């Protein structure tokens, strides 16, 4: 698919998705939302892709929704009858359901949807000049992209209330201290750090294990009791007897060599996973 507002490429088993409207500081559009959703789906379906890196062209990641062309006009949408899904959710819903890890590399401004779209990423790396903002209360609007579900799980309810109710800007150091981002880097070194992390994941982790772990952490931790997790864990551990990756992982450790994990998402994802039949 040819994209207008993003760029997508694959190299060394890493898919790079780049917001590509630097002249508008990567202002978010409906077109960008649909293109990101499509590109995430394509990366998930491509067995050659092991990791997704999400970044932005230019000096800013995303300054929020681009309202200049009324591209977010919703006054004529009867969304309840038509099943309309707001644009940011089209991205984060797809990212949440992904079977592969996502690394968000953020520099400059990441405001509004620039902050909410990265919440389902597995890793958020930021430049030292980055700043975040859940500014919805200062615009008389509401948080989107499921951010009221994701943000408290990352930084705690108290911090989420502070950031979302006040709508204030958050600098890189505060974001790091709160756990919103994992590490800070010089702006020109940010992408190198993201790709180094991607290489580590490609070279040292098993794709089926990663897919199961990624989904289980969110879906199991959100339940009111650990009993469903106990039941799933028992099934997963029992299945290791027929798991070639488990044998390879042990043997590679004992033989002090890199592991070669051969199981694929298409063929080998456990059939009993409780979320496999859910449409996300």
The percentage of the chain sitting over the pLDDT mark of 70, rounded to a whole number, equals: 94
Contact 5, 21 (CB under 8 A): yes
Give the C-alpha distances (Å, rounded to integers) separating 65 from 30, 68, 119, 128. 9, 9, 16, 23
For residue 103, give the nearest of 29, 201, 219 by alpha carbon: 201
Contact 86, 72 (CB under 8 A): no
Q: Cα(76)–Cα(144) distance, rounded to whole angstroms?
A: 19
> In the structure, what pLDDT confidence band is assigned to residue 123 with cuts at 50, 70 and 90?
very high
Q: Cα(235)–Cα(273) distance, rounded to whole angstroms?
A: 9
pLDDT of res. 222: 87
Q: Identify the CATH number of the domain defined by range 6-202.
A: 3.90.226.10
Contact 13, 49 (CB under 8 A): yes
pLDDT of res. 144: 96
Q: What average pLDDT does range 28-32 have in this prediction?
A: 96
pLDDT of res. 80: 58
Look at strands 131-133 and 169-171 and give their pairing.
antiparallel
Tens of pLDDT, residues 203-255 = 999 999 999 999 999 999 989 999 999 999 999 999 999 999 999 999 999 99
Q: What average pLDDT does range 78-100 have in this prediction?
A: 88
Residue 280 has pLDDT above 60, yes or no: no
The percentage of the chain sitting over the pLDDT mark of 90, rounded to a whole number, equals: 90
Q: What average pLDDT does range 179-199 have in this prediction?
A: 98
Q: Domains of the chain: which residue ranges? A: 6-202, 206-268
pTM of the entire structure?
A: 0.93
Which class is domain 206-268?
A: mainly alpha
Q: What SS3 string covers 148-185?
A: HHHHHHHHCHHHHHHHHHHCCEEEHHHHHHHCCCCEEE
Tens of pLDDT, residues 3-25 = 999 999 999 999 999 999 999 99
């Amino acid at each position: 698919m040819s994209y207008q507002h993003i760029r997508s490429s694959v190299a060394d088993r890493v898919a790079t998705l780049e917001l590509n409207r630097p002249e508008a500081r990567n202002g978010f559009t409906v077109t960008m939302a649909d293109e990101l959703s499509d590109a995430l789906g394509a990366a998930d379906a491509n067995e050659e892709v092991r990791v997704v890196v999400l970044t932005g062209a230019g000096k800013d990641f995303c300054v929020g929704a681009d309202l200049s062309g009324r591209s977010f006009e919703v006054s004529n949408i009867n969304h309840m009858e038509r099943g309309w899904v707001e644009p940011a959710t089209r991205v984060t819903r797809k990212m949440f359901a992904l079977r592969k890890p996502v690394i968000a590399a953020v520099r400059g401004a990441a405001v509004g949807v620039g902050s909410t779209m990265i919440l389902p990423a597995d890793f958020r790396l930021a430049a030292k000049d980055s700043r975040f903002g859940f500014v919805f209360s200062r615009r008389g609007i509401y948080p989107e992209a499921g951010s009221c579900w994701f943000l408290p799980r990352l930084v705690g309810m108290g911090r989420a209330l502070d950031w979302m109710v006040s709508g204030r800007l958050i600098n890189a150091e505060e974001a790091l201290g709160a756990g919103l981002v994992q590490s800070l880097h010089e702006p020109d070194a940010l992408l190198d750090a993201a790709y180094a992390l991607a290489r580590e994941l490609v070279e040292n982790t098993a794709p089926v294990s990663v897919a199961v772990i990624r989904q289980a952490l969110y879906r199991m931790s959100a339940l009111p009791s650990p009993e469903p997790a106990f039941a799933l864990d028992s099934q997963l551990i029992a299945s290791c007897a027929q798991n070639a990756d488990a044998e390879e992982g042990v043997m590679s450790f004992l033989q002090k060599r890199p592991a070669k994990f051969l199981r694929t998402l298409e063929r080998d994802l456990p059939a009993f996973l409780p979320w496999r039949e859910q449409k996300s």
